[in-house]
């Protein structure tokens, strides 16, 4: 499922439902941005291969659509990335990955629909490429379902000069149609 330039993927817990589902919902839709610090703390404690720990140059939040960020008042991935960066003592690079175009919400799309929806939706601005050259960066998001968004972001980072990408999320949700 993951392309070869994605080195490692880690998530704290399975979703949906339960306490973890309520935590993510409170962060994204309940107006509780302070939840991100505790979530990021738990994400920062995940076990990683030694090469990922030794090579990680920075954390990069998955950019949120401008409309959604305006509605929420924050990018949940950015808050999580900031919390992780502080604990890992690495920089947070929110400017190296941007939304090149708006996308529809992914929540009710099939895996193929999700891939089509995010295709070409992310880019690395030319003025940030020098920071990425040869770097191993850690993408940060709240939840991974099919991985379509993460793969598209990782591809943009690779095209922008990153050598390798890893991914950390708070939750891992089964994709639409996955067996329970």
Answer yes or no: is 35 within a domain: yes
Tell me: the pLDDT tens digits for 70-126?
988 999 999 999 999 999 999 999 999 999 877 767 667 666 666 776 777 799 999
Answer yes or no: is 81 within a domain: yes
Angle between helices 76-88 and 18-28 (to 10 degrees): 110
Query: Domain holding 137: CATH number?
Result: 3.40.50
In terms of residue numbers, what domain contains 147?
A: 6-172
Q: How far apart are CA 103 and CA 35, in angstroms?
A: 26
- C-alpha distances in angstroms, 70 versus 29, 65, 76, 118, 147? 13, 9, 12, 20, 24
Domain count, the chain: 1
Tell me: the pLDDT tens digits for 31-60?
899 999 999 999 999 999 999 999 999 999
Amino acid 179: pLDDT? 56
Q: How long a stretch of residues is the chain? A: 180
Average pLDDT estimate for 13-37: 91
- CA-nearest of 9, 41, 40 to 150 is 9
Answer yes or no: is 165 within a domain: yes
Answer yes or no: is 128 within a domain: yes
């Amino acid at each position: 499922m993951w392309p070869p330039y994605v080195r490692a993927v880690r998530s704290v817990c399975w979703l949906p439902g339960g306490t973890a589902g309520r935590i993510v919902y409170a962060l994204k839709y309940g107006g509780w941005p302070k939840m991100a610090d505790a979530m990021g703390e738990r994400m920062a404690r995940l076990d990683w291969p030694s090469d990922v720990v030794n090579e990680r140059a920075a954390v990069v939040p998955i950019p949120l659509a401008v409309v959604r960020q305006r509605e929420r008042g924050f990018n949940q991935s950015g808050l999580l990335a900031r919390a992780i960066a502080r604990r890992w003592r690495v920089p947070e690079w929110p400017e190296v990955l941007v939304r090149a175009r708006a996308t529809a919400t992914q929540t009710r799309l099939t895996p193929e629909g999700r891939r089509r929806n995010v295709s070409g939706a992310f880019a690395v601005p030319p003025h940030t490429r020098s920071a990425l050259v040869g770097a191993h960066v850690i993408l940060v998001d709240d939840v991974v379902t099919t991985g379509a968004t993460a793969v598209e972001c990782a591809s943009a980072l690779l095209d922008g000069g990153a050598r390798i990408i890893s991914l950390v999320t708070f939750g891992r949700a089964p994709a639409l149609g996955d067996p329970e």
